[in-house]
Structure 1
Amino acid sequence: MFQFGRMFPEMPNGRNFGETYRCYSVTMLGDREDVERGGKIIMPPSALDKLTRLHIQYPMLFKLTNKKMKRETHCGVLEFVADEGRIYIPYWMMKNLLLQEGDLVQVDNVSLPIATFAKFQPQHTDFLDISNPKAVLENALRSFACLTVEDLIEFKYNDKIYEMRVLESKPGRAVSIIECDMNVDFAAPLGYKEPERQKPRDTEQEQDMEHEDEADDAFKIFQGKGNRLDGKNKGLECMETQSSNGPPKRGIPNYGYKKNTITFIRNSRKAENGAQSPEDKMFEAFSGDGQSLRKVKTKGRR
């Protein structure tokens, strides 16, 4: 019966909304990036009229089912501006349902529990480059209304599209994420490999190698080979023997050194017969015999 002031007849409480629509991607509506990177669909105005008469509770959540392929997912609704008999959904949702443009999809309203936990798996290792992945995902999920296990969702961050697989959700297989406090966990991205850890070497082996390195790096004096102007190598064997056995013996310092003076020290050699060589005699200045270029008579001169 029609009542005064109402355009539509009153429907009994408890009835569910269930309709079949032609499915099209959001790109058919033009540039709707807000719908493409979210989890909500666009429905026709007649759907809003029927939902209002059925007293559907808010938020309005729906289950999309592809009966031919036996695939289903869950979503929310953003607007009621689609053409009659059509709905527009994100392309990632069409891939999950294995739908093509114009395929039929069943839309039913559902009531889902509030999410408490969800686990995601990034589909590429590029997700590890994000400095704070939880904050980025939390901001991206604001455009979604619900999550379904095994769905592959997409979101955009820094002009790059990231794909996430829903591996687990609690308390059910499909949950509502509108105004909820949800714990998030991540699985290893596809293609990720743990870095190989080097096996530690034995302690004794490391110590032996350290001692060998120290011995090689130790400083050794007079390692070079000397050359004489006359081409002889006399004395080099003694130097090599001395350097190989240990550091050379240093001479006795001159304790009688005086400032601004030069002292010449000459080596002394003893003769074979025990007599003192001329070099051992005390040095005397101008002690030699003079010589003249011509003989001069010295008679009568004093």
Structure 2
Amino acid sequence: MSSGWDSDYRYEASPNFQETFRCFPFDKYKNPTLETGNKIIMPLSSLVQLQTLPVRYPLLFKIEGYTSDKISHCGVLEFCAEEGCVYMPRWMMTNLHVEEGDDVILRDTTLSRGCYMKLQPHEAAFVELSNPKAVLERSMRGFSCLSTGDTIMVRHNDRDFYLDVLDVWPGGEAISLVDTDCMLDFAPPLDYEEPAHYDERDDHDQMIKKVDNDVGGEEREEEVKTFRPFTGVAWRLDGTVVMVESGGCSAVVGGGPMEGGKKREKDGGKEEGKEKFEPFTGRGRVLGGSFFDSN
């Protein structure tokens, strides 16, 4: 009889497989290229045991530090590790709070196929890549599942990028990434900084301050200048300069100062050599044509 639950919406049953292993990073396995992904390498004896148990495929495991309460999930890549040992990515060991050689507990589990994940990059440089979703899609081929609260690592152009898993759906705890299309959402990077808030009032205040400074400077400059009334230069119609005196001083543009009386004296001296004009001293003519003197 059907339970009415969607076959993709699986619940976690009691584990059929449970073993304790010593964990080591992939660089001890001499294959650090396996760091991208969350698939581990287990001993051959584990495969033999799993074949005798009613486990679900693809094989997924819940992994837990023996001395810590941190839990994550992983898949399996190969069964060729030494007996009693498992190899895993170093970033996964960091998530589990375990060191090289510490014990971890593995249990088989079943997870629902994922529909949604929300990730938060540690660096804005990741979202600034030309196509970060394509980079993540290629990297996710090495992942069998994803757990909320984990920090995963992806590698692109020989650079490692770390992303926090903020949320997954369905379930909210962990999802399977095998044979599924999953929606992806990015949260702002951890090092993201809000752009400085632009306030037009700041520019307005700065403009008013500048205008006040300019006006104040002009007023101070005018105060420095000394006002001297009636110190200009006048000209006669014949082109001679007329001195304009003020306070006993005189000024002439284009020449040195001179006293007003001297000009008249010089003019008078020049006129002494000329004949003195006497009115009505000319000669007259009568109608008959003869001349007569007006004296």
For 2:30 and 2:123, how far apart are their aligned partners in 1?
A: 29
Q: Say whether the 8 Å CA contact 2:75–2:144 is kept in structure 1.
A: yes
* Aligned CA distance change for structure 1 residues 90 and 117 (closer, same or farther; 3 Å): same
Q: Say whether the 8 Å CA contact 1:15–1:54 is kept in structure 2.
A: no
Question: Which residue matches 2:25?
Answer: 25
- The offset of 1:15, in angstroms, is 6.5
Determine whether 1:196 maps to 2:196.
yes
> Any idea what the Cα deviations from partners look like across 1:17-57, whole Å, max 9, x if unmatched?
11011111111111340x21111000000000011111322
Which residues of structure 1 form unaligned runs of 5+? 1-13, 209-232, 236-302
How many corresponding residue pairs?
Answer: 197
Structure 1 residues 53-92: aligned runs within 5 Å? 53-92=52-91
Letter in 2 for 1:174: A
Question: Which residue matches 1:164?
Answer: 163
- The offset of 1:129, in angstroms, is 2.1
> What SS does structure 2 have at the residue aligned with 1:24?
strand
Which residues of structure 2 form unaligned runs of 5+? 1-13, 209-232, 236-295
**TM-score, normalised via structure 1 length:** 0.61
Tell me how large the CA RMSD over aligned residues is. Answer: 2.6
Structure 1 residues 45-60: aligned runs within 5 Å? 45-60=44-59
Aligned sequence identity (%): 42
- The offset of 1:65, in angstroms, is 0.7
- The offset of 1:92, in angstroms, is 0.4
Q: Say whether the 8 Å CA contact 2:15–2:109 is kept in structure 1.
A: no
Q: Say whether the 8 Å CA contact 1:121–1:189 is kept in structure 2.
A: yes
Letter in 1 for 2:24: Y
Letter in 2 for 1:61: L
**TM-score, normalised via structure 2 length:** 0.62
Letter in 2 for 1:128: V
Q: Say whether the 8 Å CA contact 2:15–2:107 is kept in structure 1.
A: no
> Any idea what the Cα deviations from partners look like across 1:187-218, whole Å, max 9, x if unmatched?
1111211212422469x99xx9xxxxxxxxxx
For 1:134 and 1:55, how far apart are their aligned partners in 2?
A: 37
> What SS does structure 2 have at the residue aligned with 1:114?
coil
For 1:86 and 1:187, how far apart are their aligned partners in 2?
A: 37
Question: Which residue matches 1:107?
Answer: 106
> Any idea what the Cα deviations from partners look like across 1:194-248, whole Å, max 9, x if unmatched?
212422469x99xx9xxxxxxxxxxxxxxxxxxxxxxxx999xxxxxxxxxxxxx
- The offset of 1:67, in angstroms, is 3.3
Determine whether 1:131 maps to 2:127.
no
> What SS does structure 1 have at the residue aligned with 2:16?
coil
Question: Which residue matches 2:179?
Answer: 179
> What SS does structure 1 have at the residue aligned with 2:56?
coil
- The offset of 1:181, in angstroms, is 1.2
Q: Which moved more, 1:47-56 or 1:190-199?
A: 190-199
> What SS does structure 2 have at the residue aligned with 1:64?
strand
* Aligned CA distance change for structure 1 residues 179 and 189 (closer, same or farther; 3 Å): same
For 2:101 and 2:151, how far apart are their aligned partners in 1?
A: 21
